Amino acid sequence: MKKLAILVCMNLLLASCSSSQNKTNTEKDITPETYANTITASELKTMLYTYASDDFEGRKTGEPGQKKAIEFIKSNYQSNNIPSPIAKDDYFQEIPASYFGKNIKDSENVIAYIKGKEKPDEVIIISAHLDHIGVSGSGDINNGADDDGSGTVAILEIAEAFKAAEKDGKGPKRTVVFLHVTGEEIGLYGSRYYADEDPIFPLENTVANLNIDMIGRVDPKHEASGKNYLYLIGSDKLSKELHDISEDVNKTYFNLEFDYTYNADNDPNRFYYRSDHYNFAKNNIPVIFYFNGTHADYHKPSDTPDKINYAFLETRAKLIFHTAWELANRAERIKVD
């Protein structure tokens, strides 16, 4: 009986050790890559073929197609149980027609978030514009698959990745906000309204803005190499630390070619001032603008979802997720120079 008792105890001890070891291994397997890998080319493609379809009529600010766009975005957040910071099931930051002028009708930004576990008052904002230029005088629909359907669906996938982490008890330390702005094509109105009129989260608590505007295509400069790349604009203008983090994330996980051509202070295109990040940068909030450059289909009906490089789009979205993850989970918020 004594030998039997010893054997039973030994078996229980071994089982306990095995269970503990398995748990440790499982926990080790839960890394940022685990959640980044939920971002897939196939899901991006499925969403973009809907979002940049003729049914959305080019998503012109205030028009019926733009209303379909905001409902599409809202339904994605609802289906993934990602809440709005405004009120339960109210994802729309309403902007009156009087704010736009130019015979533009009432419009809306769409906002969702994952609340931070340790520093909920500190906020990372990931943004993209939801609108496009509508229907041409000839009746052709400008689908805007790259501009900025690519940024829109990238944010939806990034949000799903953060939600998966939260479900596993790995939610971000800081709050991560998913901001889809309207009126970009007519003058950055949606982001200006958020920053100047109604910041849902105080600007002084906003750590950084990662803005995505056209990340689904390849421009003529980079076609020959066949390598994945991104233009980065603004990363070092307000925070050298943000720039260094961005570089380190890329080198650790991806090794994309980062092209800083348009980041030059004397850039004749002035892209730094031409997308929604600028309304955060002007308020001394560090920004990165992710951009694939212009192409022959820019602002034309031929900017369609069949021309998107979905493998590149997947990797670029993963890169932005990893950068946001690092900013949201590091011990100290990044410093403004």
- State residue 1's pLDDT score: 45
pTM for this prediction: 0.92
Q: Residue 30's pLDDT is what?
A: 73
pLDDT of residue 243: 98
- The token duo for 31 is 């890394």
The tokens of 127 are what?
């943004």
Task: Give me the pLDDT at residue 233, please.
Answer: 98
Section 246-269 average pLDDT: 97
Q: How far apart are CA 53 and CA 64, in angstroms?
A: 13
Tens of pLDDT, residue by residue over 160-185, are 999 999 999 999 999 999 999 999 99
Query: Is the model's pLDDT at 268 over the cut of 80?
Result: yes
pLDDT of residue 102: 87
- In this prediction, residue 133 carries a pLDDT of 98
Q: What are phi and psi of 164, to 5 degrees?
A: -60, -40
> Which of 243, 247, 265 is closest to 256 using CA atoms?
247
Distance (Å) of CA 287 to CA 2, 79, 309: 69, 29, 25
H-type helices in the chain, by residue range?
A: 2-29, 32-36, 41-51, 64-79, 97-100, 150-167, 189-192, 220-223, 240-253, 278-281, 310-329
Least confident stretch, 7-16, 68-77, 126-135, 187-196: 7-16
Q: What is the pLDDT at residue 77?
A: 98
Reference 128, options 169, 69, 171; nearest CA is 69
Q: Report the chain's mean pLDDT, rounded to a whole number.
A: 93
Between vectors from CA 317 to CA 314 and to CA 322, what angle results, nearest 5°?
Answer: 125
Predicted confidence (pLDDT) at residue 27 exceeds the cutoff of 50: no
Q: What percent of the chain has pLDDT over 90?
A: 91
pLDDT, tens digit, 9 for 90 and up, residues 197-212: 999 999 999 999 999 9
pLDDT for position 29: 62
Give per-residue pLDDT as tens, 273-321: 999 999 999 999 999 999 999 999 999 999 999 999 999 999 999 999 9
Q: What is the pLDDT at residue 23?
A: 38
